[in-house]
Each structure stands twice: as C-alpha cells, then as structure tokens.
DNA sequence: GAGCACTGC
C-alpha cells in the first residue's frame, strides 16, 4: 500500500479515470519508474471497469507478464490466478474470477483469432507500445478498427515510455495524451570528439578509464554480439591485470547476452562485493529485456545488430547498424536508475544529431509479414484490403505483396485473395505459415509424427551448445560423437534423430548435457511438439515410435517441407531461365534449419546455378559484400558475379567491417548457410586459390 | 578457423 502511494502515476488517477471515461482511446506516457505497468489496471479496476468485462494488459515479453501479474496480485492481496492472472504460451493462470489479466501481445493476438471484437474485455492496455513489436503494431491496427466501429464500450489505453506519444495520439484521431513523470536520475551525456577507429577498442579503453578515474558504480558496455563481447572481455581482463594493484577498486568483468546459460546470466543480477566494481559487457538485452541494477556508467558505441528482411528475395540478413536516437536515450537511461550517472557516447554529438535516425525502424518494416497477413485474412474483416490496412507505420508494399504471394504459393489463400480452408488451418497453428503448411502436408504423407518433431526443433533456438556444433567430424568432441548426423539427409533428419534418441533416453536432462545440447532449447522443442500435436490431432504423439532412419520417411519428410516452402522456391525461380525445367517443386527441398531458405536438389547438393541466382537476387539491390560458406562450388559462382565486390571476410568481426571504409551505410552482410555441412565464414581469396590448385591437380591427373 | 541481436504464438 505504501509503495503504491509513492508511485508518480497515482497522482494522476483522477485525470486518467476522467480521460478514459470520456474517450475510447487514451495514450499514457510514463517513463521508467512511473508505475504505469502495475498501477493503470488497478486504477481502472477501482473505477469500476471490471464489472462488465476484464482488463487485459499486454506485455511484449513473457517474463514481464508473469512477474507483473505476480506483483499486482500481491498488491491487491489475493493469490495469483484469481482476481489477477496471466496468460502466456504454455501457461494460462487465469480463472473465472480473473478481472485483471496480463498477457503477452502474441497471446492476445492469438485470442482475437476466435474473438476479433475482444468481447470479453472492457479495457485493453497495450503496454510498452514504444517497443513497436510486430505484434503490437498489428494489435494497434485491429484495436483502432474495433474501437471505432464495432465495440464502442471497449476502452483502449496505449502506454509508451518515450515522447512518441504524439504519434500514437495522431493515429487514434488525436486522442488525449497523459504524461506521467518517471523516477530517473539525471544522466550526464559525454560525447566523443570524433568517430573512433574501432569502437570495440574505444569501448574497452573508455571502460578502463572510467574504472580508474571514477568513484564506485558498475559500468555497462553495449556491444553488438557474442563474438564482440568475448573479445572485449579478453581485452578488458588483460588491461585490468596491467593496473597497479591497490590503485583502484577490484573489478569483475561479466558478459551478458541471451544465448548465455541461465546460471551464467544470473551472475549479472548479484550485486558487486564491497570495494569492487563490475564491468558488464552486454548486447541489446540490457537495453530492454534485462535490467541490471547498480549501473552508474554506460558506455555506448552507438551500434546494434539488427535483423532485416528482404521481401524481394525472401531472405533475412543480420547487419550492424547505427542505433536510433530513441535507443541512445534508452541506453543512457540505464545509468540513472539508482543515482545520477554518466553515459559515454563514443560518437560525436554532430553524428547523433545528423546521422542517427530519430526512431528505430519498426519491426513491421523489417520482417516477413506472411504470418501477420494470414492472421488478418483469417479474421475476415469486412472491407479489408491488406494493401491498404491502416498500420501506424505501413510496411513496404513489396513486403505485403511478398506475403500475399507466399500465402498463395502454399495454398493458404486463393487467387481471389480469400483465405482457404487450408489457410485457416495453418493460421491456427502457432508457427510461421511455411512450417504450418509442412505439418499439414506431412499429415497427408503419413509422416506427421516425424514432421512434428522437426518443426518443433526448428521453432526452438539452436539446440547445440556453443562450440559443439555438429557436422565437423574433425573436431567433434568425444561426447558429441554419439549424436546422429542425419545420414546425409540434412539437418532436418538429424534433428529428428537427435530428438528420437533423447526420447529413448527418457528425455533425460543429463543426457542433453553430456551430449552438448542446450537443455533449454530441447525442453522448449518438446513443449512445442506437445502443443502442436494437441492442436493437430488432439492426441499426444509422444508414443508414436515409427522408425526414422528409413529412407522413405526421410523422403516424405522432405516432400512435406517442400510443400511448406513452396512459396520461397517458386518465388525465386525466375520464369525463363530454365529453372522450372529442373523439376517440379517436390524435387527441390529447403533444408535450412532457420527461417531463411536455401535450395537443395534431390541429392542434397546445392546446384551452382541456384546459388548464382540466390546471390544475384539477394544482392542486386544493395549488396556489395557477401559472406559465403566454404564449398568448392562457391568460387566459380563468385567469379561469375558481377558488380559485387567480394572480398575476404575471414576473421573480421562486425565492427571491423563497419570501420572499414568500404562498408558504407548501404552495405549489408548476408550469411549464407547451406546447412547440411559446415557453416562458417570463409576467406574467399584463400578458398579460390585452393580451389584452383585442386582443379589444376585434377586436370593434371586426368590428362595422364 | 568456427555463430546467430532480440522477442513471441
């Protein structure tokens, strides 16, 4: 009770209740520490909004939904799951008594498939809308329609942490905006005078400098990826050893990124021992998802690794790009949570003002929209024209067309643009449409059990621990050796075999550990599989134990995958280059473990001309640098490429590429992975030399 | 000589 009174938002209770009473949509801007996430729902609950419906509060992340629900249940003095509950994938802790429900935005989106007017809700609060997740953006569009036409009783509240409130207000016909001040301490911004030659080195030097000169308080360094973090850790440790003993505080250097094992991550949440300073080197997780306490100094090189989707090729790319001004502000704010702090920006203020984008490009403008479009089609909204749907930031037209095209290719929509029966079935599955289509095809082909396993494994992040990746026999660790390799049928069959083997070992966690498998990912895959099996068959498929080494199963599996990825195959088959004559789509199989597709022929080989077209298609608009996987056939392809500056990328990390003058703003790096064998960056020049040498020796031999 | 930021159904 006491805690509640202290929160800034409670001083605005009357104003909020009044605004919500008079308007269908209200925007609430509340900085960190304002209490909006825990208090808004309670305020409206007290104002009587839970009498004829429930209050739904969306969160972009599962952990947030759970922890906030727990907190609010405690504040309201009841057990979790009754008056206050939460709902996330795999876990629904709500009951008939629930009046306030915290849920992930993805969960609300899924609910609306079956209740597109949000009838059970009297209020929907879209929290953290400034993060602009794909799901939030779609919900914004849907809620705008619903609040306007269908359900005038529904109240919608959008909350945002930045001054982006005006944009949301404008979108909702200039609805009122309520500003709630936060509880952040001032953060002093310090800019570099020039762009550093290497932001990594500069970050390390700055960290040491701060450590030596500044009073106690932890240091948070933002870098772009695991690789960089590890490099920085090594450099930091070296430099720390060189410091004179007793001249300054002790120091602990810690990494923080999402693929770290949970127990390693946990170290970041333990406070530093007395007389000791922590230097935490983190990716973007520390910007939004995880809050590290005790940070007083932030070092911000101004870069982030961002995923981009290219609708003309259907390919994803990851690239290191400048952060936006909003992100820079967010990062700096991390220094002012416990007391006044400092943020060292490793770029000049002129760069910040002139070169940084004001806000991050929203996810909806850099992802595949296949799933989103199918979702909207499923709702069967009257007068819905996808190409003119009222998004707050409309995606590229190409991206929408790409989505429609792909849906057409997997028979999810018909020529008339309407969703088909198959499409409805696909939409009900919590998967990207290609994988959903694969499952339905597998059902027909009699390999559903196997496909369920493969799809579940594909939905999980990589199952291999760092450093123990499969495929490379030369350096496969001893424990690893027992793991199946897919019998040359590629990753999918390998995943299947590994899962089956795990099952034979009674899903033993220790078995995963001793085989170098990520326990988290394996358990997740098992959960996903169970869920999918329930949706598809209302049966638990765990007992189905068909032989998986049979070639026929492998064949039908690949056929099923083919059906699912037909879109991408078809899409990137130009009509008059002879490509179509190579075979119908069942002869080409997509074998990539992640979502980016690559093509493989019947023998699991990757035809040169396919790669050629891949590269041409993907690079035409913007690429000058290409990362390739080492394969002998790469070299002749590279030689054929024109207007592409292929150079050695071996051993260069992202930041080194970035500092290289040749890699300008419009350059992107694409990592191609044929996925059946080794995956790595390659020194193109060396590969070329090796290839030519081998070719020469071969011709010599054959001529003898 | 070896990776892939971060979410979510």
* The two three-digit tokens of residue A515, written as one number: 């085989």
Residue A123 has pLDDT above 60, yes or no: yes
Largest CA distance in chain A: 94
Partners of A252 in beta bridges: A278
Asked if the model's pLDDT at residue A33 lies above 90, the reply is: no
A298 neighbors A651 (Cβ within 8 angstroms): no
Provide φ and ψ at A317, rounded to 5°.
-135, 150
Nucleotide nearest to A90 (CA to C1'): B9
Is the distance from CB of A314 to CB of A572 less than 8 angstroms? Answer: yes
How far is the C-alpha of A309 from the C-alpha of A371, rounded, in Å? 14
Nearest nt to the CA of A475 via C1' is B2
Residue ranges per structural domain of chain A: 2-180, 187-361, 429-571, 607-703
Please report which confidence band the pLDDT of residue A494 belongs to, taking 50, 70 and 90 as the band edges: confident
| A625 Cβ nearer than 7 Å to chain B strand | no
Residue A679, pLDDT above cutoff 80: no
What is the CATH superfamily name and number for domain A187-361?
P-loop containing nucleotide triphosphate hydrolases (3.40.50.300)
Is A198 in contact with A656 (CB distance < 8 Å)?
A: yes
Note the CATH architecture for domain A2-180. 3-Layer(aba) Sandwich (3.40)
Q: What are phi and psi of A120, to 5 degrees?
A: -75, -10
Nucleotide nearest to A652 (CA to C1'): B1
Read off the pLDDT of each residue in A62-74 and give the average, rounded to a whole number. 92
Mean pLDDT, residues A266-275: 86
* Residue-level pLDDT at A23: 92
Mean pLDDT of the residues in chain A: 75
Q: Residue A493 phi/psi, 5° resolution?
A: -70, -35
Place of tokens 């390659």: A682
Distance in angstroms, CA of A283 to C1' of B7?
14
Q: What average pLDDT does the segment A302-314 reach? A: 77
At residue A466, the pLDDT reads 60
Q: Residue A569 above 50 pLDDT?
A: no
Which nucleotide's C1' sits nearest to the alpha carbon of A305? B5
pLDDT digits (tens, 9 = 90+) for A79-101: 999 999 999 998 899 999 999 99
CB of A88 nearer than 7 A to strand B:
yes
Domains A2-180 and A187-361 share a fold: yes
Residue A344: pLDDT band with limits 50, 70, 90: very high
A358, A364, A367, A371 alpha-carbon torsion, rounded to 10°: 170
Q: How far is CA A52 from CA A38, A46, A131, A142, A644, in A?
A: 21, 13, 30, 22, 62
- Each residue's pLDDT tens digit, A505-527: 889 888 888 888 888 889 999 99
Least confidently predicted of A180-194, A237-251, A286-300, A538-552:
A538-552
- Count Cβ atoms below 10 Å from residue A238 Cβ, excluding itself: 10
Share of chain A above pLDDT 90, in %: 36
Check whether residue A676 has its CB closer than 7 Å to nucleic acid strand B.
no
DSSP line for A440-495? HHHHHHT-HHHHHHHHHHHHSS--BPTT--SS-STT--TGGGGS---TTS-HHHHH
Does residue A498 or residue A317 have the better pLDDT? Answer: A498
Distant-in-sequence contacts of A546-551, Cβ < 8 A, 24+ apart:
A546/A449, A546/A450, A548/A450, A548/A493, A548/A496, A548/A497, A548/A500, A549/A487, A549/A497
Q: What is the pLDDT of residues A371-387, one digit of tens each?
A: 999 999 998 787 778 88
Task: Identify the residues numbered 446 to 485 in chain A whose C-beta atom is closer than 7 Å to any atom of strand B.
Answer: 459, 461-462, 464-469, 472, 474-475
CB A285 under 7 Å to nucleic chain B: yes
Query: How far does the CA of A260 sit from the C1' of B5, in Å?
Result: 13
pLDDT category of residue A260 using cuts at 50, 70 and 90: confident
- A648 is near strand B: CB distance < 7 Å: no
Confidence at residue A151, expressed as pLDDT on a 0 to 100 scale = 61
């Amino acid at each position: 009770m006491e805690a509640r009174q202290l929160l800034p938002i409670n001083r605005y209770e009357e104003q909020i209740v009044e605004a919500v009473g008079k308007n269908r949509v209200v925007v609430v801007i509340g900085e960190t520490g304002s209490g909006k996430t825990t208090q808004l729902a309670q305020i409206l609950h007290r104002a009587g909004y839970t009498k004829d419906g429930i209050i739904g509060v969306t969160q972009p992340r599962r952990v947030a939904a759970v922890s906030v629900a727990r907190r609010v249940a405690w504040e309201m003095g009841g057990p979790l799951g009754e008056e206050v509950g939460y709902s996330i994938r795999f876990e629904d802790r709500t009951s008939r008594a629930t009046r306030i429900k915290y849920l992930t935005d993805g969960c609300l989106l899924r609910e609306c498939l079956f209740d597109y007017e949000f009838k059970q809700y009297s209020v929907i609060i879209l929290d953290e809308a400034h993060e602009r997740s794909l799901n939030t953006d779609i919900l914004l569009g849907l809620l705008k329609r619903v609040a306007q036409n269908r359900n005038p009783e529904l109240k919608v509240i959008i909350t945002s942490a930045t001054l982006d409130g005006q944009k949301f207000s404008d979108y909702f016909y200039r609805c009122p905006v309520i500003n709630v001040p936060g509880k952040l301490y001032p953060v002093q911004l310090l800019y570099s005078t020039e762009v550093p030659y290497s932001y990594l080195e500069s970050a390390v030097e700055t960290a040491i400098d701060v450590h030596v000169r500044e009073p106690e308080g932890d240091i948070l360094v933002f870098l772009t990826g695991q690789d960089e973090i590890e490099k920085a850790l090594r450099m930091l440790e070296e430099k720390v050893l060189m410091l004179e003993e007793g001249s300054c505080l002790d120091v602990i250097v810690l990494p923080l990124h999402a693929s770290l094992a949970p127990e390693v991550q946990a170290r970041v949440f333990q406070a530093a021992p007395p007389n000791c300073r922590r230097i935490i080197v983190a990716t973007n997780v520390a910007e939004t998802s995880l809050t590290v306490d005790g940070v007083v100094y932030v070092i911000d090189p101004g870069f982030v690794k961002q995923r981009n989707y290219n609708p003309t090729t259907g390919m994803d790319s990851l690239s290191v790009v400048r952060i936006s001004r909003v992100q820079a502000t967010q990062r700096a704010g991390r220094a002012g949570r416990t007391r006044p702090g400092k943020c060292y920006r490793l770029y000049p203020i002129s760069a910040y003002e002139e070169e940084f984008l004001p806000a991050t490009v929203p996810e909806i403008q850099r992802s595949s929209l296949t799933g989103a479009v199918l979702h909207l089609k499923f709702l069967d909204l009257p007068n819905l024209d996808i190409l003119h749907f009222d998004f707050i930031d409309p995606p590229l037209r190409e991206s929408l067309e790409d989505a429609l095209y792909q849906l057409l290719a997997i028979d999810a929509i018909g020529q008339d643009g309407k969703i088909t029966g198959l499409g409805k079935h696909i939409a009900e599955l919590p998967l990207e449409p290609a994988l959903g289509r694969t499952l339905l095809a597998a059902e027909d082909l009699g390999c559903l059990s196997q496909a369920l396993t493969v799809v579940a494994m594909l939905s999980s992040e990589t199952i291999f621990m760092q450093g123990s990746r499969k495929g490379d026999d030369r350096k496969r660790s001893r424990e690893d050796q027992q793991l199946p390799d897919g019998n040359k049928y590629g990753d999918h069959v390998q995943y299947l075999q590994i899962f089956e083997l795990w099952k034979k070992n009674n899903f033993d966690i220790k078995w995963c550990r001793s085989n170098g498998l990520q326990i988290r990912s394996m358990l997740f895959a098992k959960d996903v599989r169970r869920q999918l099996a329930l949706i598809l068959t209302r049966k638990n498929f765990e007992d189905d134990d068909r032989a998986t080494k049979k070639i026929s199963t492998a064949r039908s599996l690949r056929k099923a995958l083919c059906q699912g990825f037909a879109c991408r195959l078809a899409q990137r088959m130009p009509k008059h280059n002879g490509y179509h004559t190579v075979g119908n789509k069942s002869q080409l199989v997509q074998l990539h473990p992640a979502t980016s597709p690559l093509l493989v022929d019947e023998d699991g080989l990757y035809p040169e001309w396919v790669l050629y077209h891949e590269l041409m298609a993907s690079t035409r608009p913007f690429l000058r640098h290409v990362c390739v996987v080492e394969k002998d056939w790469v070299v002749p392809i590279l030689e054929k490429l024109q207007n592409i500056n292929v150079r050695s990328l071996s051993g260069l990390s992202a930041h080194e590429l970035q500092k290289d003058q040749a890699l300008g703003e419009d350059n992107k790096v694409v990592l191609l992975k044929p996925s059946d064998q080794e995956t790595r960056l390659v020194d193109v020049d060396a590969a070329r030399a090796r290839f030519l040498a081998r070719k020469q020796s071969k011709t010599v031999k054959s001529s003898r």
